[in-house]
Amino acid sequence: MTTTATDLVPFDEALERYDPVMGLEVHVELNTATKMFCGCPATFGGAPNTNVCPVCLGLPGALPVVNGKAVESAIRIGLALNCEIAEWCRFARKNYFYPDMPKNFQTSQYDEPIAFNGWTEVEVDGETYRIEIERAHMEEDTGKSSHVGGATGRIHGADYSLLDYNRAGIPLIEIVTRTIEVPGEKAPAVARAYVQQLRDLVLALGVSDARMDQGSLRCDVNLSLKPKGATAYGTRSETKNVNSFRSVERAARYEIGRHAAILDAGEKVVQETRHFHEDTGTTSSGREKSDAEDYRYFPEPDLAPVSPSRMWVEELRGTLPEPPPQRRRRLQAEWGFSDLEMRDTVGAGALELVAQTVSAGAAPQAARKWWLSELARRANEQGVELVELPITPEQVAQIQGLVDAGTVNDKLARQVFDGVLAGEGSPAEVVEARGLAVVSDEGALSEAVDRAIEANPDVAQKIRDGKVAAAGALIGAVMKDMRGQADAGRVRELILGKLS
Amino acid sequence: MPDSPHDDPRSAAVAAGTPQAITRDDVAHLAGLARIALSDAELDRLGPELSKIVEAVATVSQALEGREDVEPMSHPTPLRNVFRDDDVRPTLTPEDALAMAPAAEDQRFLVPKILGEE
Amino acid sequence: MTDLISLNAAGLADELASGGTSSAELTRAYLDRIEAYDTTLHAFLHVDAEGALAAAHEVDRKRAGGEELSPLAGVPIAVKDLFCTVGQPTTCGSRILEGWVPPYDATVVSRLRRAGLPILGKTNLDEFAMGSSTEHSAYGPSRNPWDTERTPGGSGGGSAAAVAGRLAPLAIGTDTGGSIRQPGALTATVGVKPTYGGVSRYGIVALASSLDQAGPVTRTVLDAALLHEVIGGHDPMDSTSIDAPVPPVVEAARRGDVSGLRIGVVKELGGEGFQSGVQARFEEAVELLVGAGAKVVEVSCPSFVKALATYYLVLPSEVSSNLARFDAMRYGLRVAPEDVDDPSAEQVMAASRDAGFGDEVKRRIILGTYALSSGYYDAYYGSAQKVRALVARDFEAAFEQADVLVSPTAPTTAFKMGEKLDDPLQMYLQDVATIPGNLAGVPGISVPAGLAEDGLPVGFQLLAPLQADDRLYNAGAALERLLLEKWGGPLTPPEVMA
């Protein structure tokens, strides 16, 4: 880092003087059964170097063969983003040396991407923003390196590195936006909304698990600032290692503040790659990009051109899911959510989760309630995304089902959530194991009510005198007695019945 | 978006028949890109050697004079859409994969510390 | 055993079928000859006596059991050390792969094994198949059986020397710019470069992916055809392989009928720069074909004068990328840089590549890096790919006037060791007649055409349209038969190799 400006300019202040210009590069790891250019399983995890062959290891003499399913997925992603699909395109070699790349070139696409000139619309706070998509192209993933000997397990200060090539060759689709110029205060949120929407799209297409925390959805945030009134674009930085939707927003905000501080100080922004740190929400300097590795692109001679017939493209167009804005409107109508409720749901990245919970049988408002309050709170506490919580929409629906059936009340339901999230089992198993079921035994309830009346004669008298509101204190006493495992409504009925 | 390799004045110079000689610095830069640690003797020798070859081959673009219509040919055969099905095929065993590795640990390839950023 | 050694592969196949010999006996005979003469010729980098004999015994067992066998089953073969072979090293003639044993077979090798051809060993080549003499092999050059002071050509000089020197009845090579055909010319053997995509490249260490092709190295045209049918055909592991049956090459080789055949003499491939004896034998051969009913037409392919330059842009560019994988991280030579404590991966890569690659390879990698580099793509690689299209167009136009095109295979006869090492450009000129065929992907064959004034072999090249490989075998067989009649028997190197 060569800048002397170490303070960030506060976000709002920065926006007074500068307009942010963003570009987002998102990599989607496809969920095909096999890799992009060979028949090795494309699975997550597994013992090192067990899913490799001469092709993805880059052994001398090995040759690639294109996975047709990956091409199909690439076209569908392109269509879902309203792109034109190339009539004829090729793969190209991107040549550079790095130990996680077995051939020391990446087979990718260069000036002939399979999809280009698209767009998608995202909604933030009730406003619609159109994001232009420059291109979507096919490429292959690299192997994974782990660094041994350094303090943090990161590359700096490591003694040596260990390479696992299971991931090498897994298909990736890279989606690149054109410059995004939206009102400054909205920019970070728009960036986040875009990545969330890509995730939703890709999930709806069924082509990827799209998990940022697992690396099947990756985002690089490019950002530069334009002084207000200027026409020339500023120097941009590229931030990598952005591992959640929230981090997309945080990284954008941080970079806006950092660039502003540099420019305010009259210095130049360094064109570089930066690394985002989840724990601090800051970025640090990586490799200077002005070195501009010369990738010496040329068309891949080992592969034939890809020229999808227009008929095939139309066939695939027929398999597309509903466009997101249309889907949101339909769901909102089906669920009866207000605009604000819908906005909050989308904003929390909970749209798909709520939809799946409703599909699993829960009422929409209940689904929304659980995801946006109870579970969102826990996700925030742990610093993870909703989708990373160890609970499924089906389980949430089951818990609501238990509430609907009267087996537990709301308060007890929260304990069921605790249990499921702690890995104690399914909702039913947790209720059983922890003995959380609401006591429906009238006799036991009646006895508990009697005990509460006896223990609180003054309150009881007030109720007899007509102060129905005082029943609340007795209800509380009974609930405490029953360790919460009573239906508050029934308790109230019993109290009033006995004291009327 | 990476810069296009086309429309560069250096290419134009070559097409005009005036390719620049390859200097020692050029060779050093290229050797860096190609990750070959050339010795001083090699650096001295290669510049003139390559310049001579380049001079001979630079005439290629002259053959295109007046031929605007020519599409580049990267393949002798008109193959298109060569795909395979998304079916799993046998992998190598980790033993075979690592058999010829210069160094290995924990069933992974062991390489010296990497300086560049990921 | 002299009888067996003097038979060509088709003859050996007959002997095996009739029970006149066994594969084990035959393989043993060749292993003995290798032991006796390979110290002189240095055709082989590795000999696998055990593996070859085991395969031979297996074929004999199957034959005895009445199993149906492929035509060439039991006939041993040598394989250029550029093909991956399980259990045998594949060095590519380079230090960087010294001792590297692949975990998989090239498709061509699998097909040879499945057809029951015992693999005698791996033959010498210019390092990574870049060269025209085998003098760039890191393990020392091979020698021409016709004159051991001279090179057998390259890059596949080892295979040609093995066949010419009767150390193997058959061999397999690769041809990227002439590496099968030019050694064929220099050693009086038959060498074929099939149509690009006609033979699988899977498991052949790549130098120029858009030019490389595997092919037969044999004594006769029929042998080459028989071998072509074993190795050729579609391979789903090679995206550039043609999804069509092998052209009817054996039938064509047996036919050898040129009546009415239109033979196109290519103006740009001959004349100045071609040794007088080479040119003379070529013209005589054309006359012979005319005498047998062929018609001669002169054709001009103007772009061919740029073919050499085009090739020396396309090839190094693809080489610079294909050879990037040799970085000492997963296989191959790993050396630490001198005087560096605790070197980084980058430093180890660079030191290993400098130590492991020879001069010619380094030259081409740097040249290729340059041709692809930022700012130069259009002028060099981009332009070369366009001139390539012009070369292909000229071939198409020529094939409208002629059924086959002909030329001398190489401009000179076998040259002395060291003669062309000082000036790389001089060496590159060896391929001036063969390179156009690689650029366009058309098939070509070199057939022995006699001896020049210096007593050394001359090759006659035929080229055919894409996927019309059978025309080469038909015309080649006809010429071969006519020349045999003229000479009274096949050409064999003097003394030692009888």
C179 in catalytic set: yes
Residue type, C284: E
Same domain, yes or no: A270 and A137: yes
Contact C369 A296 (CB under 8 A): yes
| Cβ-contact C464, C472 below 8 angstroms | yes
Give the pLDDT mean for B41-54: 91
With a CB cutoff of 8 Å and minimum separation 6, the contacts of A233 are: A21, A179, A224, A226
Dihedral sign from CA coordinates of A223, A226, A231, A237:
negative
Helices (H) and strands (E) in chain B, counts: 4, 3
Same domain, yes or no: A400 and A427: yes
Give the pLDDT mean for A173-202: 95
DSSP-derived secondary structure for C19-69: TSS-HHHHHHHHHHHHHHHHHHH--EEEE-HHHHHHHHHHHHHHHHTT---
| Backbone dihedral region for residue A275 (phi beyond 0: left; psi -120 to 50: alpha; all else: beta) | beta
Distance of CA B42 to the CA centre of its chain: 19
Whole-Å CA distances, A378 to A254, A344, A360, B57: 25, 17, 22, 67
pLDDT in tens, C273-300: 999 999 999 999 999 999 999 999 999 9
Question: Which of A217, A190, A213 shows the shortest CA–CA distance to A347?
Answer: A190
- pLDDT above 80 for A396: yes
pLDDT at A151: 64
Contact A61 C239 (CB under 8 A): no
Note whether C97 contacts A: Cβ–Cβ < 8 A.
yes
Structure token pair of residue C262:
């239109």
C193 in catalytic set: no
Note whether C374 contacts A: Cβ–Cβ < 8 A.
yes
Same domain, yes or no: A311 and A426: no
| Alpha-carbon gap: B54 to the closest alpha carbon of chain A (Å) | 18
pLDDT confidence tier of residue A152, bands split at 50, 70 and 90: low
Structure token pair of residue A278:
């989840």
pLDDT in tens, C36-65: 999 999 999 999 999 999 999 999 999 999
Structure token pair of residue C21:
């010999």
pLDDT in tens, A267-284: 999 889 999 998 899 999
Which one-letter DSSP state was computed for residue C127?
G
| Alpha-carbon gap: A326 to the closest alpha carbon of chain B (Å) | 31
C210 in catalytic set: no
Of A54, A61, A304, the CB nearest to C240: A304
Contacts of B29 in chain A (CB under 8 A): none
Contact B109 A163 (CB under 8 A): yes
Domain final position from A434, A453, A468: A434
Q: Chain C, 105-144: which have a CB under 8 Å from a chain B CB?
A: none
CATH number at residue A476: 1.10.10
Same domain, yes or no: A302 and A260: yes
Which one-letter DSSP state was computed for residue C416?
B
| Cβ-contact C236, C243 below 8 angstroms | no
Which one-letter DSSP state was computed for residue C198?
S
What ipTM was predicted for this assembly?
0.96
pLDDT in tens, C439-464: 999 999 999 999 999 999 999 999 99
C237, β-bridge pairs? none
Contact B112 A160 (CB under 8 A): yes
Look at chain C and count its residues: 498
DSSP-derived secondary structure for A187-213: HHHHHHHHHHHHHHHHHHHTS----GG
Same domain, yes or no: A35 and A158: yes
Structure token pair of residue A323:
């466009």
The pTM is what?
0.90
The torsion angles phi and psi of C263, rounded to 5 degrees, stand at: -105, 120
Same domain, yes or no: A382 and A464: no
By CA distance, what is B70's nearest residue in C? C386
Whole-Å CA distances, A438 to A410, A432, A477, A482, C52: 11, 11, 16, 9, 80
pLDDT in tens, C159-186: 999 999 999 999 999 999 999 999 999 9
Contact B72 C309 (CB under 8 A): no
In a domain, B102, yes or no: no
pLDDT in tens, A34-83: 999 999 999 877 899 999 999 999 999 999 999 999 999 999 999 999 99
Token pair 């005498």 is at which residue? C291
Question: Which of C456, C459, C457, C453 shows the shortest CA–CA distance to C476?
Answer: C459
> Is the pLDDT higher at A432 or at A21?
A21
Give the pLDDT mean for A318-340: 91
Domain count, chain A: 3
In a domain, B98, yes or no: no
Give the other-Cβ count within 10 Å of A244's Cβ.
23
Q: Chain C, 309-328: which have a CB under 8 Å from a chain B CB?
A: 309-310, 312-313, 320, 324, 327-328
Range of the domain at B11: 1-65
Contacts of A102 in chain C (CB under 8 A): 325, 330
In a domain, C329, yes or no: no
pLDDT at A324: 80
- pLDDT above 60 for C339: yes
In a domain, B78, yes or no: no
In a domain, C114, yes or no: yes
* From C22, C23, C142, C155, active-site residue: C155
| Alpha-carbon gap: A74 to the closest alpha carbon of chain C (Å) | 20
In a domain, B100, yes or no: no
Ranges A276-290, C188-202, C458-472: which has the least confidence:
A276-290
Domain count, chain C: 1
Of B6, B52, B109, the CB nearest to C377: B6
| Cβ-contact C471, C399 below 8 angstroms | no
Share of chain A above pLDDT 90, in %: 69
Q: Chain B, 32-71: which have a CB under 8 Å from a chain C CB?
A: 33-39, 42, 46, 49-50, 52-54, 56-61, 63-64, 67, 70-71
Contacts of B27 in chain C (CB under 8 A): 366
Give the pLDDT mean for C394-413: 98
Helix (H, G, I), strand (E, B) or coil at C478: helix
Note whether A49 contacts B: Cβ–Cβ < 8 A.
yes
Give the pLDDT mean for C250-271: 97
Contact B33 A294 (CB under 8 A): yes
Same domain, yes or no: A57 and A152: yes
Contact C370 B8 (CB under 8 A): no
Question: Which of C79, C106, C112, C68 shows the shortest CA–CA distance to C227?
Answer: C112
Whole-Å CA distances, A126 to A21, A123, A351, C3: 21, 6, 15, 93
Burial of A67 (0-12, 13-18, 19+ CB in 10 A): buried
Same domain, yes or no: A209 and A161: yes
Of C202, C324, C369, the CB nearest to A61: C202
Give the pLDDT mean for C412-428: 92
pLDDT confidence tier of residue C1, bands split at 50, 70 and 90: very low
- pLDDT above 80 for A154: no
Cα end-to-end span (Å), chain A = 77
CA distance C446 to C448: 7
In a domain, B28, yes or no: yes
DSSP-derived secondary structure for A12-60: HHHHHHEEEEEEEEEEEE---SB-SSS-SB--SS-STTSS--TTTTT-T
Note whether C313 contacts A: Cβ–Cβ < 8 A.
no
Contact B73 C353 (CB under 8 A): no
Contact C327 A104 (CB under 8 A): yes
- pLDDT above 80 for A12: yes
- pLDDT above 60 for C318: yes
CA distance C375 to C35: 54
Neighbours of chain A (3+ CB pairs under 8 A): B, C
Burial of A390 (0-12, 13-18, 19+ CB in 10 A): exposed
What is the average pLDDT value for chain C, to the nearest integer? Answer: 96
Note whether A270 contacts B: Cβ–Cβ < 8 A.
no
CATH number at residue C229: 3.90.1300.10
In a domain, B88, yes or no: no
CA distance A492 to A474: 8
Contact B10 C375 (CB under 8 A): yes
| Alpha-carbon gap: C394 to the closest alpha carbon of chain A (Å) | 22
Range of the domain at C252: 3-302+390-487
* From C142, C179, C352, C407, active-site residue: C179
Note whether A161 contacts C: Cβ–Cβ < 8 A.
yes
DSSP-derived secondary structure for B7-27: S-HHHHHHHTT-PPPPPHHHH
Domain final position from A266, A291, A315: A315
| Strand A237-242 with A217-227, pairing | antiparallel
Note whether B97 contacts A: Cβ–Cβ < 8 A.
yes
CA distance A124 to A328: 13
Range of the domain at A377: 322-434
Of B82, B92, B112, the CB nearest to A304: B82
In a domain, C177, yes or no: yes
DSSP-derived secondary structure for C144-190: BTTBTTB---SSSHHHHHHHHTTS-SEEEEE-SSSTTHHHHHHHT-E
pLDDT at A411: 85
pLDDT at A466: 87
In a domain, C368, yes or no: no
pLDDT at B40: 95
pLDDT in tens, B66-117: 787 888 887 787 899 999 999 999 999 999 999 999 999 999 999 999 876 5
Domain final position from A401, A434, A467: A434
In a domain, C454, yes or no: yes
pLDDT in tens, B5-37: 455 666 766 666 666 788 999 999 999 999 999
pLDDT at A433: 87
In a domain, C108, yes or no: yes
Domain count, chain B: 1
Contacts of A59 in chain C (CB under 8 A): 84, 102-104, 331
Share of chain C above pLDDT 70, in %: 99
To probe the interface with B, which of C212, C239, C378 has the most B CB atoms within 10 Å? Answer: C378
Neighbours of chain B (3+ CB pairs under 8 A): A, C
Same domain, yes or no: A346 and A492: no
Dihedral sign from CA coordinates of A397, A402, A405, A406:
negative
Give the pLDDT mean for A161-170: 97
Per-residue b or e along A248-268, where b marks 16 or more CB atoms closer than 10 Å to that residue's CB? bbbbbbbbbbbbbbbbeeeee
pLDDT at A289: 53
CA distance C431 to A130: 58
Distance of CA C148 to the CA centre of its chain: 20
CA distance C5 to C402: 39
In a domain, C318, yes or no: no
Burial of C407 (0-12, 13-18, 19+ CB in 10 A): buried
Contacts of C378 in chain B (CB under 8 A): 5-8, 11, 15
pLDDT at B4: 44
In a domain, B29, yes or no: yes
| Alpha-carbon gap: B12 to the closest alpha carbon of chain C (Å) | 7
In a domain, C330, yes or no: no
